[in-house]
Structure 1
Amino acid sequence: MIRTAIITGALLLTTAAFAQSEPVGATVEVNGMQMYYETSGEGDPLIVLHGAYMNIPSMGAIVPKLAETHKVYALEFQGHGRTTDIDRPITYENLSSDVAAFMDAVGIEKADIFGYSMGSAAGLRLAIDYPEKVDQLVAASVGYDVSGWQPAFVEFIPQMAPEMFVGTPMEDEWRKLAPNPDGFRAVVEKLIALEKEPMAWEEDVKTLKAPMLIIAGDADVSTLEHNVALFRLLGGGDMGDMGAPLPASRLAILPATSHTAVINQTDLLYGFIEPFLQGETPVGFMGQ
């Protein structure tokens, strides 16, 4: 999740850095809002979900890279990018419901999901709440319990206020795409409230059916211990080469990588994501 003014400002710097690979933009009515999305590429459907305060362009080069091997549907969430805001809080349950409704509206029965930050938590909720719609889930910088956030961030959450965002260059960037250029404060207030919502999804995670690739930076907003705990909940973390097949879920930790640096490492991300989505597993000399 995008957590501070510094984090969101850094992400906005990526907005103009990359061009999309000839995407086709459109809007569709979803749960009372006009949701903007872009399609690109050919192949199996892959839905891309951005982080808080972000939009499709700020996801950077990973979107056109994934479109080389998949039909990518990149969405913009409630109050983000070109999607309208509505009189409703932004919660992970609401976001996952929006993705499910989007899939119904455009005729996608089941898809792979790639989410980053807030989008990864929305993707996780989608896999929990609508398991029939998710084939495989790639979650970059995700959390499943508030106990997994870094202590420094936990201390910062009560200090978050709209004034950290409103009237800054971040608002100027947001206004360039927003259907309602005057609605930034309302979105910020909803996103701050989202940070303060309880999150305790361990029992839900245990019910997951879809294989999951967890991606995190070694200096991410979630602790390393939290990411390992999530991997273990999905059946990972045991020794291979002992005769049993490896679990379907996987864990990848990016070195020297903060939260905002995760999404900018296109080649590393693709190198982890594509083999996972294709079901490819490295083979050791023990034959596994």
Structure 2
Amino acid sequence: MNKHILARIVLILTVAAASCQQATKENPAGTSKDTTTQQQPLQPADSGFADVNGIKMYYEVYGEGKPIVLLHGSFMNIPLNWAHIIPLLKDRKVIVAEMQGHGRTKDTDRAFSYENMADDVSGLLKHLKIDSADVLGYSMGGGVAFQMAIRHPEQVRRLIVVSGSYAHDGWWPDVEASFGTMTADMFKGSPIEQQYLAYGNDSTKFPAYIKKVLSADLNNYDWSKEAKSIKAPLFFVIGDADGIRYEHAIELFKAKGGGKMGDMHGLPQSRLAILPGTTHIGMMQRTGWLIPMVTDFLDSDLDPTPPTF
């Protein structure tokens, strides 16, 4: 991929990360116009480090109600990815955590993989004494969410994957090709580098950190069979200008009962949404559309019975 295009992607990513950290409310139409209002950030009811699988995983807990776990994207952390979303998930216990090597969760020599991160999230739920929870993952966090439902199905009540993939070729080919060409230099001076350094990490290790995080997407992973066998109801969300192929999302949705006329056969327990005018990075700014759909999915009774007239 052209290096100028890659540089633009990284620039958009870091600008979006900075804006997401400060935004707390978006306009009702769900557009990305600058109509946010500012307020004091929420304070967690609980926070700390959980000893899981050889790492000390940082987490925060907000609110009360049915638990939902939010899993961030690559190079992100709690404030960068979720500061503007946590206040919108009302009447829920919102659990946010920072994955291996991200934010306040220090890296180890352990391989960086979706499977390992899913096991860490499983361990965190046990640490918090939560038997099961709804799980929402964005981008890299979507891959972790898939693995949570595959490896620890008893802990996942409902699954929401936002702009994530269950196979390496779920990305558009040019996007997949870009992962191997990104470098730390592209993140120089960005909010991502600033956050990395602010948490006490060694600046000389930043290039290795970027390379390690990208390594998870350089493997030819394919969980198609396992993903299609996930028992939990699934809500798969992508943008129409996302990095995820439409066919990738539709294939899984059909395997989960989609692709039929609901008036004749009843609604499937799983759902699919393709948001218009929405990019991969811009997805996190579409809260006006995304959050109501997520809460409706979580609160629905998922009755498959077709309507009667």
Q: TM-score, with normalisation over the residues of structure 2?
A: 0.84
Tell which deviates more after alignment, 150-159 or 179-188: 179-188
Please say if residues 161 and 192 of structure 1, whose CA atoms lie closer than 8 Å, have aligned partners that are also in contact. Answer: no
In structure 2, the residue matched to 1:221 is 243
User: 1:108 Cα shift?
Assistant: 1.2
> Counterparts of 1:48 and 1:21 in 2: how far apart (Å)?
16
> Counterparts of 1:200 and 1:109 in 2: how far apart (Å)?
28
**2:127 matched to 1:100?**
no
Tell which deviates more after alignment, 218-227 or 180-189: 180-189
In structure 2, the residue matched to 1:123 is 145
**2:16 matched to 1:11?**
yes
Matches within 5 A, 1:239-250: 239-242=261-264, 244-250=265-271
Q: Name the Cα RMSD after superposition.
A: 2.3
The amino acid that maps onto 1:116 is Y
Q: 1:100-134 deviations in whole A, cap 9, x for unaligned?
A: 11111121111110111111110111000111110
**2:70 matched to 1:65?**
no
Please say if residues 168 and 221 of structure 2, whose CA atoms lie closer than 8 Å, have aligned partners that are also in contact. Answer: yes
> Counterparts of 1:228 and 1:86 in 2: how far apart (Å)?
37
In structure 1, the residue matched to 2:286 is 265
Residues 175 and 212 from structure 1, CA distance in 2 versus in 1: closer, same or farther, beyond 3 angstroms?
same
Q: Percent identity?
A: 37
Please say if residues 144 and 230 of structure 1, whose CA atoms lie closer than 8 Å, have aligned partners that are also in contact. Answer: no
Matches within 5 A, 1:108-187: 108-166=130-188, 168-176=190-198, 178-182=199-203, 183-187=205-209
The amino acid that maps onto 1:6 is L
Q: 1:145-192 deviations in whole A, cap 9, x for unaligned?
A: 22221122133233223333356553123222x242434333212112
In structure 1, the residue matched to 2:113 is 91
> Counterparts of 2:259 and 2:54 in 1: how far apart (Å)?
42
User: 1:278 Cα shift?
Assistant: 0.8
The amino acid that maps onto 2:251 is A
- Aligned-partner SS, 1:15: helix
> Counterparts of 1:169 and 1:106 in 2: how far apart (Å)?
30
In structure 1, the residue matched to 2:43 is 22
Q: TM-score, with normalisation over the residues of structure 1?
A: 0.90
**2:206 matched to 1:201?**
no
Please say if residues 67 and 95 of structure 2, whose CA atoms lie closer than 8 Å, have aligned partners that are also in contact. Answer: yes
Residues 144 and 204 from structure 1, CA distance in 2 versus in 1: closer, same or farther, beyond 3 angstroms?
same
Q: Which runs of 5+ in 2 are unaligned?
A: 1-5, 25-39
Residue-pair matches, total: 283
Residues 7 and 204 from structure 1, CA distance in 2 versus in 1: closer, same or farther, beyond 3 angstroms?
farther
Q: 1:236-281 deviations in whole A, cap 9, x for unaligned?
A: 1211111x22111001111100001111122211111011101156
